[in-house]
């Protein structure tokens, strides 16, 4: 994929980047790369975005070293007596600095350049400045994997309730070569789950639209890894409805009665027709 035009390359080798590895794992083809590159345009841009996120994550992990985000004063000799030390935050910071230093050292050594200052921001700026050289390097795949691992590790420290990401399939919007990823959050997070496109965050589906998206993907004969609650069901339990639309379980039975949802019983449990539920609750969500 040419990063300047946004079009997929028609010839050449397959992309070795982490994003395309995830595509491959979900049954989608890897993008091809232009001559002399080992990463497609999307994986290159993803790498740059992840690199640029590291200084912020490094700083946020630093705010957690004493067990809290609330301290800003500089102290010497470690955290104050009685304050817990966040080893996960320290490990994440150490990993970010070590990996960035290693790759910047590689660039400096092989390109015969002066190395940057050993600060996260300087190291990131140095790497981004030489990103085209890195995308052509034989170890580009390792770089994308290591940087993605750093970002995931730091995010888990900074936002332990951030949930998990599940690759869904190819974006269904016309001429979009992005990958759809489901962001599945813990219930206590208080925010709705969503499916977003890696290439254009404007291509997004809130949780109550997952069933409709699944049908659209099936009509397009696209292999999909939509989370199980949205992949396999035609009849929904009260628990399914509560989870997908964030409706209190007790309200499900009232809504079923008010809207006369079709139902069936199996093994002592009641299931409601997906189309009836979707029709009633999707209108309810959009009217809020």
Range of the domain at 169: 161-221
Q: Over the chain, what is the mean pLDDT?
A: 75
* C-alpha span between 51 and 57 (Å, rounded): 10
More confident residue, 154 or 287: 154
Residues 106, 57, single domain; the answer is yes
Q: Are residues 29 and 142 in the same domain?
A: yes
Element (H, E) at 237: strand 235-237
Q: Is the pLDDT of residue 187 over 90?
A: no
**67 and 152 together in one domain:** yes
Q: State whether 23 and 145 are in the same domain.
A: yes
The structure's pTM equals: 0.53
Domain count, the chain: 3
Co-location of 121 and 181 in the same domain = no
1, pLDDT greater than 60: no
- Asked if the structure places residue 273 within a domain, the reply is yes
Binning pLDDT at 50, 70 and 90, where does residue 10 land?
Answer: very low
The answer to whether residues 65 and 129 belong to one domain is yes
Residues 31 and 108 in one domain: yes
Q: Locate 93 and state its tokens.
A: 């910071």
Domain shared by 215 and 169, yes or no: yes
- pLDDT of 150 > 80? The answer is yes
Both 129 and 245 in a single domain?
no
Instruction: Verify that 31 and 134 share a domain, yes or no.
Output: yes
- Alpha carbon 219 to its chain centroid, in Å, reads 25
Strand partners, 182: 166, 195
Residue whose structure tokens are 């140095």: 126
Say if 13 falls within a structural domain: no
What does the pLDDT read at residue 189?
A: 45
Q: For 37-93, what is each residue's pLDDT tens digit?
A: 899 988 999 999 999 999 999 999 998 886 544 333 333 444 444 445 678 889 999
Q: Which two tokens stand for residue 164?
A: 């998990």
For the ranges 137-141, 162-166, 184-188, 232-236, the lowest mean pLDDT is seen at 184-188
Determine the length of the chain: 288
Neighbours of 188 (CB within 10 A): 6
Residue 79: per-residue pLDDT: 45
In-domain check, residue 258: yes
3-state SS assignment for residue 264: strand
pLDDT at 96: 95
Specify if 5 maps to a domain.
Answer: no
pLDDT at 218: 65
* CA dihedral sign, ordered 3, 8, 12, 14: positive
Closest CA relative to residue 41, chosen from 26, 52, 55, 30: 30
Higher pLDDT among residues 263 and 233, named by residue: 263
Instruction: Give the bridge partners for 49, in sequence order.
Output: none
Q: Do 190 and 237 fall within a single domain?
A: no
């Amino acid at each position: 994929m040419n990063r300047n035009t946004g079009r997929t390359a028609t010839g050449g080798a397959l992309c070795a980047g982490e994003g395309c590895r995830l595509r491959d794992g979900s049954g989608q083809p890897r993008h091809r790369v232009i001559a002399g590159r080992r990463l497609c345009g999307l994986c290159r841009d993803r790498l740059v975005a992840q690199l640029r996120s590291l200084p912020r994550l490094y700083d946020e992990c630093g705010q957690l070293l004493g067990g809290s985000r609330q301290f800003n004063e500089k102290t010497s000799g470690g955290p104050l007596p009685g304050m817990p030390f966040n080893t996960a935050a320290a490990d994440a910071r150490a990993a970010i600095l070590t990996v960035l230093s290693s790759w910047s050292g590689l660039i400096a050594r092989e390109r015969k350049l002066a190395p940057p200052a050993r600060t996260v921001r300087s190291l990131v700026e140095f790497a981004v400045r030489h990103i085209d050289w890195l995308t052509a390097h034989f170890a580009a795949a390792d770089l994308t994997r290591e940087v993605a691992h750093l970002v995931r590790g730091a995010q888990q420290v900074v936002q332990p309730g951030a949930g998990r990401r599940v690759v869904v399939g190819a974006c269904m919007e016309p001429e979009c070569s992005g990958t759809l990823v489901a962001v599945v959050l813990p219930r206590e997070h208080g925010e709705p789950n969503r499916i977003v496109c890696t290439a254009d965050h404007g291509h997004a589906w809130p949780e109550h639209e997952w069933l409709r998206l699944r049908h659209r993907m099936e009509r397009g004969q696209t292999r999909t890894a939509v989370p199980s609650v949205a992949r396999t069901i035609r009849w929904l339990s009260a628990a399914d409805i509560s989870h997908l639309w964030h409706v209190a379980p007790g309200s499900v039975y009232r809504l079923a009665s008010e809207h006369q949802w079709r139902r069936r019983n199996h093994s002592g449990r009641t299931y409601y027709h997906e189309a009836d539920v979707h029709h009633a609750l999707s209108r309810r969500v959009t009217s809020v």
